[in-house]
A and B are shown apart, each in its own frame.
Chain A
Amino acid sequence: MAHPAVAVLERHLTLYKRLWRASLFSSFVLPVLFLASIGLGVGGYVGEVGGVPYVEWIVPGVLASTAFQMAVGECTYAVFGEFRWNRGAHAMFATRVSVWDMIGGWLLYIVFRVEIAVVVFLLVVGAFGVLSSPWVVLTPLVAALLAVAVAAPVTAFSATIDHDSYFALLFRFVMLPSTLFAGVFFPVEQLPPVVRSLAYLSPLWHGVELSRAATSGAAPLWPVWAHAGCLLVFAVGGVWWAGWAFRRRLQD
């Protein structure tokens, strides 16, 4: 008998079959546009960062930020709607599916989506010959960890809020600053120490560091276990918060 979380994953995949074409296209067009404009355009002025051409330097960052943005984007309205609009969460909860199965199945689905985007992205940039280290095979693993570290708390947030206008706050004050100041486009060492410590709070920065270590083969700023540990804390904390939020919505 399939685990209930697998049944939940299957449901999300069945829905995904309806829209995979559009999402696949956007999942690699956007990062490629970023690479082309910033990597080549800005890179023309910057030259080298950390001993590698700028475009090569931002590839792992853009990769991690793709995973990050996807995890945020997929876990906002889609989760909110399951509670508020189509009540799919209530339908699931009327079966043997538990709150943890729902969260587990959902996070598996997000990882699946992120992995597709990451693999497509790697194939595209790989074709341009900017991936030099064999450690690059670890980037999908980094992306999965980052995806869960981001998706779990965002899912919890979406299940907690009472109105979808709160998403504007999330996009403006969390997602956008994270993307800009988490070491995707320039090293965080450029930032004044106060702002830099904010970057350390972002799961994206840890993901970027690990991802960059994998594509370049160079050691990250902190030990690998420290970066991975921070992501794990986000993941575990997020799952715990999501469990609380789901239960509060579904059970009284």
Chain B
Amino acid sequence: MSDVQPLVHARGLVKRFGDFVAVDGIDIDVAPGEAFGFLGPNGAGKSSTMRMISCVSMPSAGELRIFGMDPVREGPRIRGRLGVCPQLDNLDPDLTVRENLTTYARYFGLSRAQARARAEELLEFAQLRDRASSRVEPLSGGMKRRLTIARAMVNEPDLVLLDEPTTGLDPQARHLLWERLFRLKQQGVTLVLTTHYMDEAEQLCDRLVVMDGGRIVAEGSPRSLIESYSSPEVVELRFGGQELAGFVAPLDGVGDRVDVLPDRILLYAKDGDAAVSEVHRRELVPSSVLVRRSSLEDVFLHLTGRTLVE
């Protein structure tokens, strides 16, 4: 990565709001063609970081370069090469789907003919061709999100920023959106996204950072993070309504590590089935047992000592 100029380069990046430190000295580099994710709970500093990258929030300290340029002095020039899909939809509700795209294209300086042509391509991409002439307001949440992402692509951006792209969508809509984003990734579009969904990060990101309390607590590919911070398999044990803390001692040594959550116990193990056998051998009787592959959720739990969903 050292031979190519990173699209995003941050060193010791800080964002303060009064006394509150939202981003507390982070270092990141995003290479061209990469799908880079910020993973973390609400309030971890993901959105503040994204807003700084989108040049709408000024760093309080540290160094930030986008396309090698300074966002404080060259905001409009940088923004002209970005595609931004914000957390809250900000489509023009009174314009049609097509007009939303053409209007936005004009903001980036496309000619009217180019704007119309680009809108047609993107209607296809967003699978909204049959709704092109309808107003935006009555569209479903998934359709609006697809349109927002399509709109972010209107200037053929060098870098696309997606802030929690699938938050609030139903599972079907999420999968459709992932498929579209995956297509962008295959076309070589550089994506930077924030999410608090583990499955989203695993599906889309080549590399990610886990943020907590404004800091980066881990960095790597989803697989390498799981390998470094978790075991290959996880056994989830539930014991009806019983006090779970009492099971920690009897389970000692069954897996590599034990985590007690409010509703269940997690056993981290190389071999989940072997761990379950050992649980039964110790004459413990869980009300339910689930063996699964380790996920980023487990990484997060390990790194921060709490579950992600608050």
Distance in angstroms from A74 CB to nearest chain B CB is: 15
Q: Are B93 and A251 in contact (CB under 8 A)?
A: no
Alpha-carbon gap, A88 to B75, bound state (A): 18
Report if A96-B90 is in contact (Cβ < 8 Å); known contacts: A8-B107, A251-B56: no
The smallest beta-carbon distance between A77 and chain B, in angstroms, is 14
Of all chain A residues, the one with the shortest Cβ separation from B81 is A96
CB distance from A88 to the nearest CB of B (A): 6
Q: Determine whether A188 belongs to the interface, using a CB cutoff of 8 Å to chain B.
A: no
* Cβ B92 vs Cβ A10 within 8 A: no
Interface string of A96-114 (1 = CB under 8 A from B): 1110000000000000000
State whether the Cβ of A87 lies closer than 8 Å to any Cβ in chain B: yes
Interface residues of B in 84-116 (CB under 8 A from A): 84, 86, 88, 90-95, 99, 103-104, 106-109, 111
- Docked-complex contact A91 and B90, CB < 8 angstroms: yes
Q: Which residue of A lies closest to B52 (CB)?
A: A252
Closest to A252 in B: B57
Whether, in the assembled complex, B175 has its beta carbon less than 8 Å from a beta carbon of chain A, the answer is no
Report chain B residues within 8 Å CB of A14.
95, 99, 103
Asked if A4 and B109 sit within 8 Å, CB to CB, the answer is: yes
> Does A93 have its Cβ within 8 Å of any Cβ on chain B?
yes
- Name the contact of A88 in the complex, choosing from B17, B51, B79, B90 (C-beta under 8 A): B90
**Which of A91, A94, A252 has most chain B Cβ within 10 Å?**
A94
User: A248 an interface residue at 8 Å Cβ cutoff?
Assistant: no
Tell me whether A38 is interfacial, beta carbon within 8 Å. Answer: no
A127 and B62 CA atoms in complex are apart in Å by 68
Instruction: Give every chain B residue within 8 A of A2 (Cβ-Cβ).
Output: 106, 109, 111
In the assembled complex, B240 has its CB within 8 A of some CB on chain A = no
Closest CB in chain B relative to A19 CB, distance in Å: 9
- Given the known interface contacts A1-B109, A88-B92, the answer about A95 and B104 at a Cβ–Cβ threshold of 8 Å is yes
Alpha-carbon distance between A250 and B84 when the two chains are bound, in angstroms: 14
On chain A, the residues within 8 Å of B155 by CB distance are: 95
Contact yes or no, B58 A87, CB < 8 A: no
- With a cutoff of 8 Å between Cβ atoms, the chain A residues found around residue B104 in the complex are 91, 95
Minimal Cβ-Cβ distance residue in B for A15: B94
Q: In the complex the two chains form, is A252's CB within 8 Å of B84's CB?
A: no
Is there contact, CB below 8 Å, between A86 and B109?
Answer: no
- State the interface size on chain B (CB cutoff 8 A): 30
Contact A250:B80 (CB < 8 A) given known A11-B92, A87-B88: no
Chain B residue at minimal CB-CB distance from A4: B107
In the assembled complex, A92 has its CB within 8 A of some CB on chain B: yes
Supposing A7-B106, A96-B108, A252-B57 touch, asked if A91 and B91 sit within 8 A by C-beta, the answer is yes
Checking B58, B79, B86, B111 against A95 with a beta-carbon cut-off of 8 angstroms, the contacting residue is B79
Residues of chain B lying within 8 A (CB to CB) of residue A251: 56-58
**CB within 8 Å: A-B pair count:** 77
Q: Which residues of chain A in 65-97 are interfacial with respect to chain B, using CB atoms and an 8 Å cutoff?
A: 86-88, 90-97
| Alpha-carbon distance between A26 and B235 when the two chains are bound, in angstroms | 71
Point out the residues of chain B lying under 8 angstroms from A252, CB to CB: 17, 51, 56-58
B296 on the A face (CB < 8 A): no
Bound CA span A11–B51, Å: 25
Pick from B57, B80, B92: contact of A86, CB under 8 Å: B92
Docked complex Cα distance between A251 and B75 (Å): 11
| Contact (Cβ within 8 A) A94 B86 | yes
Contacts of A92 in B (CB 8 A): 107
- CB-CB contacts of A8-36 with B at 8 A, as 1s and 0s? 10110011001000000000000000000
- Kindly identify which residue among B17, B79, B92, B95 contacts A94, using a CB–CB cutoff of 8 Å: B79
Cα A232 to Cα B90 in complex, Å, equals: 34
Residue of B with least CB distance to A95: B107
Chain B residues with CB under 8 Å of A7's CB are: 103, 106-107, 109
Within 8 A of A (CB), among B58-89: 58, 75-77, 79-80, 82, 84, 86, 88
A91-B90, A91-B91, A252-B17 known; A11 vs B103 contact (CB < 8 Å): yes
In the complex, which residues of chain B have a beta carbon less than 8 angstroms from the beta carbon of A95? Answer: 79-80, 104, 107-108, 155
Most buried by B among A8, A11, A250: A11
CB distance from B45 to the nearest CB of A (A): 14
**CB neighbors of B among A199-252 (8 A):** 250-252
The smallest beta-carbon distance between B161 and chain A, in angstroms, is: 9
Residue among A11, A14, A96, A251 with max Cβ neighbours from chain B (10 Å): A96
List 17 A-B pairs, Cβ < 8 Å. Answer: A1-B109, A2-B109, A11-B92, A11-B106, A11-B107, A15-B94, A15-B95, A86-B92, A91-B86, A91-B91, A91-B104, A92-B107, A94-B56, A95-B155, A96-B77, A96-B108, A98-B75
Q: Given A86-B93, A252-B56, 16 other A-B contacts at CB below 8 A?
A: A1-B109, A2-B109, A2-B111, A7-B107, A11-B106, A14-B95, A86-B92, A87-B90, A90-B90, A91-B92, A93-B79, A95-B104, A95-B107, A98-B75, A98-B76, A251-B56
7 nearest A-B pairs in the assembled complex, by CB-CB distance:
A96-B80, A87-B90, A7-B106, A95-B107, A94-B84, A91-B90, A1-B109
B contact set with A: CB distance below 8 Å: 17, 51, 54, 56-58, 75-77, 79-80, 82, 84, 86, 88, 90-95, 99, 103-104, 106-109, 111, 155
